[in-house]
A = this chain, B = another copy of it.
């Protein structure tokens, strides 16, 4: 099968998830019309075979996760996904696996919104790079800066499940609920949109609660006091997984009040004392460092 035939098969699997642009796949570039007055929000992420997913992992799960991981960054900015581009690098024998990846991507895109309107195929070690693009009125953008002393600190969902799956090496056991946590994160696009004009800062938890909170604190010039008892630990995970483990892709945000319409819990308060304190004691950050 040559490149063009495989592209046609991938597009057939993507179906409606690859339609809807002013110009979609098939020309030199994909084209979308920005909503008037809104800004373009973009992010790019890569999953490498054997590094970010086991080589034996089903393509459907890997494709789903690749989209969710990238779109999560749009959610953290309050943007609504519009256009996604996917660069697949595949081994020569990966054609069937590529179609499974496309099926997982279709499922993810149908959940998050947006369309896959462009892509690239290359040969090499399995590498899935997703470039995702959404729009948001500029005045509603959520950024890492903006947390103020007195703001509550909130997280969506439950934390630590994905880290527990990695720590407990369950990734090869597709029946484990922890493995599901790892492979099937849900980008919190709906929450991000509800939080427009409500959250004073936001980030998605990709590197670990403490490390990502630290990013917010550095950008905002503030500190944080957390209550360990308030942190929502996923079933099967420990508080340590929830504090230090990455890959949950929940939203961490600050706000002056509990926001309506978002499934979240308050885990602490922004302070003017620098650093992060947990139950009153300073904590050190052991976030996931992706690249050494």
Interface residues of A (CB under 8 A from B): 1-4, 6, 22-23, 26-34, 36, 38-52, 73-74, 76-77, 79, 83, 85-87, 89-90, 92, 117-125, 127, 129, 131, 133-134, 138, 141, 143-145, 202-204, 219, 289-292
Contacts and interface: CB of A to CB of B under 8 A. Distances in A.
A125 B124 contact: yes
B127 A27 contact: no
Q: What's the number of copies of this chain in the assembled complex?
A: 2
Contact of A41 (B30, B43, B46): B30
25 contacts: A1-B292, A2-B289, A27-B145, A28-B76, A28-B77, A28-B204, A29-B73, A29-B76, A31-B40, A31-B77, A32-B40, A32-B42, A40-B40, A42-B117, A43-B85, A43-B118, A44-B118, A46-B89, A46-B129, A48-B125, A51-B122, A120-B129, A121-B290, A122-B290, A124-B125
Given A51-B122, A120-B129, 9 more contacts: A29-B43, A29-B73, A34-B34, A34-B39, A44-B85, A44-B131, A49-B124, A122-B290, A125-B125
A124 B91 CA distance: 14
A256 to B, nearest CB: 21
A33 B27 contact: no
A38 to B, nearest CB: 8
Contacts of A74: 28-29
B292 A92 contact: yes
Contacts of A127: 46, 48, 89, 122, 124-125, 127, 129
A55 B129 CA distance: 21
B289 A143 contact: no
A39 B31 contact: yes
